[in-house]
Chain A
Amino acid sequence: MEQRNITSAQYATDPLDGSNVSITAIIDGKQWSVPLDPANTTYAEIMRQVEAGELIIQEAES
């Protein structure tokens, strides 16, 4: 299995309702904005690492 190196992850929110809509993550040294879509491969990988206890997603800045 190929595992991407995710060093940080933080939710971002929709300013209209304040709900989480994406994750800003540093992956293999580069920042990406990742949608909360299970069909998105990067989101799926983030959640896999979260479930494995290898990554914590920080709450959005208020």
Chain B
Amino acid sequence: MSEIQVGQINSTDGSTAITTGADGYVSFAKTQIGGRRNLIINGAMQVWQRGDFSVSDRGYFADRWKDYFNPGTSASQLTSGLPDGFSSGVSYESDTATVLRFEQRIEGDTSTILNNKQATFSFYVKGSTSLDGVTVNATLGVASTKDDFSTVTVVANGSFMALSESWQRYEATLDLTGVDVSNGLSARIATGNCTVGSILYITGVQLEVGSVATPFEHRSYGEELAACFRYYFRMHPTGNYTRYADGYWTNANNASVNVYFPVPMRANPEIDTTGVANDYIIINGGSVYNLTSLPTFNRGTQTADGSCIFANILATSTSNGTAGNATQLASLAGGNWVGDFLGFQAEL
């Protein structure tokens, strides 16, 4: 067996690419092979806190993934027929729209690493028969001000690839030379024109520094879930009177309860509910009462950087409380809790 002992390997421009230490450790100057290469959260579409997505929802499907300018689509989790090594993906269908497009918004503090560099966008994709030959491509857009995506300017377009009914890996290097992306990035994927009923299947989305598409960086479900909690957190009842929050009655009508988040949220979050007040109950002693209006956000307790660690919310049930009594906000009983939830959203 032949051996080469080497302390350093240079790239073609003479700069250090790989350094090997006497202790056997190896460092890569461009960090293409180390962990945490992927700037995308939930790139393998494993986390679906909100569940499947219908045309009326217009927003998020798999955590962190959002349709844009495109209310005519529906999405569901794909759990079979995936590329080797993947357990989840998305099935994204055109109900009325003629283009399928969605995005993930990346915070400026994260995207800054791509300033003035090459970025490589990759994902696994296939289409239904009606998408044969239709193109798919990736683009990158920059937020107008720090973490404000109300206006996005597209700064780089990836090459176009024709879809087929077999999984292919899309790979495109986007040139961000001279571009400041520290306000935050919108990482977008879009098809060309398609017919109603067309379905796009996709997983393994990765955005990384450099001009090479490295293998998809698999992260554990727990890691991805924790990363998603920064932007959205939803509690689901698992039985009668599942407790969401603890607190006390401020008077006969109102209770003040706190929800503690498993991960500090990006900002004070808005409250996401079923939209039906009497899907929620509040406890006074041994009795439970339906809310008469949906819970409202009261105060957020934040860390110095503005992340929200817990939210105080108000629950109202007319004339059923005893001021000063402890209470809990909970789900319904008798099986009527199925499908209910209480969520918190601090997306970009």
Contacts and interface: CB of A to CB of B under 8 A. Distances in A.
A12 interface: yes
Contact of B270 (A12, A15, A40): A40
Contacts of A1: 150-151
A35 B147 CA distance: 17
A9 B148 CA distance: 21
Residue among A21, A30, A34, A41 having the largest count of chain B Cβ atoms under 10 Å:
A41
A31 B58 contact: no
Contacts of B273: 31
Contacts of B58: 28
A42 interface: yes
B68 A2 contact: yes
Interface size class of B (residues with CB under 8 A): 35 or more
Interface in B292-348: 294-300, 306, 311, 313-314, 345-348
B118 interface: no
A42 B59 CA distance: 13
Nearest to B148: A44
B338 to A, nearest CB: 20
B98 interface: no
A33 B297 contact: yes
Interface in B250-274: 250-251, 254, 256, 266-273
Contact of B346 (A24, A30, A33, A40): A40
Interface residues of A, number: 26
A39 B250 CA distance: 29
B149 interface: yes
Smallest CB-CB A-B distances: 10 pairs: A39-B267, A35-B268, A37-B268, A22-B297, A33-B271, A33-B296, A34-B270, A33-B297, A12-B296, A35-B297
B294 A33 contact: yes
Nearest to A29: B56
Given A33-B296, A40-B267, 10 more contacts: A1-B151, A15-B314, A16-B250, A21-B299, A29-B56, A32-B271, A34-B270, A37-B268, A41-B148, A45-B150
11 contacts: A24-B296, A29-B56, A32-B271, A33-B295, A35-B268, A35-B269, A37-B268, A37-B306, A39-B147, A40-B346, A42-B345
B69 interface: yes
A41 B298 contact: no
A43 B268 CA distance: 10
B300 A12 contact: no
A8 B305 CA distance: 31
